[in-house]
A = this chain, B = another copy of it.
Amino acid sequence: MKIEILTKTDNQNLQNAIISKIGDLINHKNLEPGDKLPSERMLSEKFGVSRSNVREAIQKLEFYGLLNSIPQSGTFVANIGVIAMNGMIEDILRLEDPDFKSLVETRILLELKTVRLAAIRRTEEDLEKLKEALDAYTQKVLDGEDAVQEDLLFHLAIAKASGNSTMNTFMLIITPGIITNFEKYHVCDKGLAQRGIKEHEEIFDAIKRQKPQLAKAKMKEHFGVLYQYCYNV
């Protein structure tokens, strides 16, 4: 159990060390946006690590938009300047793992927005998908089974209907953590699920009728139950 954490952090430490060295290199060599980094081979020799390690570090920096790797050409400093580069690398290295409370807080914030946007922008196709997800959830609850997954899929359908790809991605990122913790702490029991049907239907109707404010209000109502559960953990 502990070994897994150890190897993972070992890997993390190595990767972070390489990221830090790449940052130093950019500073020391005064590399500006658009400039090319030394090749992966040279970096691996310079840092005394394998090329795959260098590649992983570069890919992480690419994920956060600080570098751009272009296939048969090289890796380039992104168009964001040295100061932002330094600040962001520092932030990335000190980033801590998300806790449950942080996830729930973010989820509520995101969903109060996605539901409003969905009510404004939803297409007919979105409505169909929402209806499908709603029916699947309702059926599962009426069968007396656990419906946490169907619940979340309905909410993901809303995120998709919002037409905002960034929020959609973020919802996807936090959803597994939400599901796991919900099942762990038994956030949703039978009584809540029964009540959930009505609430989901009201949210769906508000989106269908394109009433953003109403949709938001209903979502807030829906989360009201979660609040008391989540903050009692």
A28-80 residues with Cβ-Cβ distance < 8 A to B are 63-66, 70-71, 78-80
With contact pairs A80-B180, A109-B110, A153-B83 given, residues A165 and B99 touching in the complex (Cβ less than 8 Å): yes
Total contacting residues, chain A, CB less than 8 A:
58
| CB of A105 closer than 8 Å to a CB of B | yes
A1-33 residues with Cβ-Cβ distance < 8 A to B are 3-4, 7-8
In the assembly, what is the distance between CA of A8 and CA of B68, in Å? Answer: 12
In the assembly, what is the distance between CA of A183 and CA of B66, in Å? Answer: 15
How many copies are assembled?
2
In the assembly, what is the distance between CA of A80 and CA of B150, in Å? Answer: 11
- A122 CB to nearest chain B CB (Å): 16
| CB of A95 closer than 8 Å to a CB of B | yes
Residues of B within 8 A of A113 (CB): 109
With contact pairs A95-B168, A165-B102, A166-B98 given, residues A71 and B180 touching in the complex (Cβ less than 8 Å): no
With contact pairs A71-B7, A87-B156, A109-B110 given, residues A175 and B65 touching in the complex (Cβ less than 8 Å): yes
Report yes or no: B81 in contact with A149, Cβ–Cβ below 8 A.
yes
Residues of B within 8 A of A179 (CB): 79-81, 84
Report yes or no: A84 in contact with B165, Cβ–Cβ below 8 A.
no
Residues of B within 8 A of A84 (CB): 149, 152-153, 175-176, 179
| CB of A172 closer than 8 Å to a CB of B | yes
Report yes or no: B66 in contact with A165, Cβ–Cβ below 8 A.
no
In the assembly, what is the distance between CA of A170 and CA of B102, in Å? Answer: 12
Report yes or no: A71 in contact with B149, Cβ–Cβ below 8 A.
no
With contact pairs A65-B175, A84-B153, A153-B87 given, residues A169 and B95 touching in the complex (Cβ less than 8 Å): yes
Residues of B within 8 A of A99 (CB): 165
Additional A-B contacts beyond A64-B173, A84-B176, A97-B165 (5; CB < 8 A): A65-B176, A84-B149, A95-B168, A98-B166, A105-B167
User: Residue A156 contacts which of B91, B105, B152, B175 (CB distance < 8 angstroms)?
Assistant: B91
| Mask: chain A, 118-158; 1 = CB below 8 Å from B; 0 = not | 00000000000000010010000000000011101100100
